[in-house]
Structure 1
């Protein structure tokens, strides 16, 4: 692609800026304190597999759209059934775990620094209400937060990325999509967005065939590389 010239930065949230597995792991542990770590990990995998599978079914047209909080509630019920807990209030509280995810150590300061240089948008598969609570809990700073709920589908459906293009009022090649998931960046790239991979322990690493615009170890590294490219 041509020289990297961008007008706004678009961030994935789950996994990229907050540690989603750690938050759900903590929620499951609190839900059933007698579980050992191995059992909690097994139930975390059950939760994640359900949500990912149902999102894929929605994107593929096999299921009507359901917001992320609905999918989280379904996952919480699966966890409750696995540990034989029949308490609707406790299950509802467990489902809200997705609204209380810890930010990575560099997230808050990194967003603040970037927000001084560019308009910064969130683009998340989380529903509008989940995204609101999650942003407040983790202390995330945005100029605007966009939910896939507005497109009634999930990433990597192109309709989700078009939200950022439409709302920003910029052409796609002037937007930089930042994510810890290579699949997310590939989808953004297919619509013409510029791309930056940020390494996280829970992300989806790039394949040798990927050619993203930037590769960063963390947000400070991303900011340094952006500053160098702008000089």
Structure 2
């Protein structure tokens, strides 16, 4: 486990780690299709998430040219609309931008503010430049800098995405801490030499027994306290 003085910059995943992506998308689907019951909304949410995951995977495997999250989310919204019989263009257009309006977890805003008094703090997100701008404003996330994977024309865990954060931090990767609620994301960061901290979230991807991350925390408050203790 690294000492606090070994860390010069802290990088956060955003979707799922600092904002509750599933709840935000679920609320947007319910607004678009108000007659749907809980089971139907969950089915439509799964349809959306499966599309996004598949398309990002296809891009990562070279089976599709890079498309940013604005494009992929619009495709996912279209699939939801087709499945639910949604035809109103204005409603569909609003649904397509649901990724701009995701709620923060209860400890995210205050945790970032506390941490930013001690370290340079960066966001590193799959969200496109435009979506990330609106999402930060909506959720109240304040960064020293927010980086979109769109700049690398790739999605995590592609190493060039993590390199964006390392280059921006301007220090060796072993002095940059990647924080995420997704073990797959931390494995990608670890492969580039970054330090890693897992933060538990209800919809995250928990570590496997074989994972050796530098830190594991139950929430953001715990992480901030550990990093700012000395």
Please tell me the TM-score bracket, short chain as reference: over 0.9
Q: Which consecutive aligned stretches of 4+ in structure 1 deviate over 2 angstroms post-superposition?
A: 1-4
The two structures have a TM-score, normalised by structure 2, of 0.97
Query: Alpha-carbon deviation of 1:98?
Result: 0.6
SS class of match (1:195)? strand
SS class of match (1:197)? strand
Counterpart contact for 2:7–2:175, Cα < 8 Å: yes
Structure 2: runs of 5 or more not aligned? none
Q: Which residue is 1:7 aligned to?
A: 8
Establish whether residue 23 from structure 1 lines up as the match of residue 27 from structure 2.
Answer: no
Establish whether residue 88 from structure 1 lines up as the match of residue 89 from structure 2.
Answer: yes
Establish whether residue 141 from structure 1 lines up as the match of residue 157 from structure 2.
Answer: no
Counterpart contact for 2:100–2:131, Cα < 8 Å: yes
Q: Which residue is 1:155 aligned to?
A: 156
Q: Which residue is 1:210 aligned to?
A: 211
Structure 1: runs of 5 or more not aligned? none
Query: Alpha-carbon deviation of 1:227?
Result: 3.0
Q: Counterparts of 1:102-141 in structure 2 under 5 Å?
A: 102-141=103-142
Aligned equivalents of 2:44, 2:169: Cα separation in 1: 39
Query: Alpha-carbon deviation of 1:168?
Result: 1.4
Q: Which residue is 2:69 aligned to?
A: 68
Aligned equivalents of 1:167, 1:30: Cα separation in 2: 38
Query: Alpha-carbon deviation of 1:224?
Result: 1.8
Between Structure 1 and Structure 2, how many residues are aligned?
A: 229
SS class of match (1:114)? helix
The two structures have a TM-score, normalised by structure 1, of 0.97
Query: Alpha-carbon deviation of 1:167?
Result: 1.3
Query: Alpha-carbon deviation of 1:2?
Result: 5.8
Q: 1:49-79 CA distances to partner (integer Å, 9 max, x unpaired)?
A: 0001100100110000000010000000000
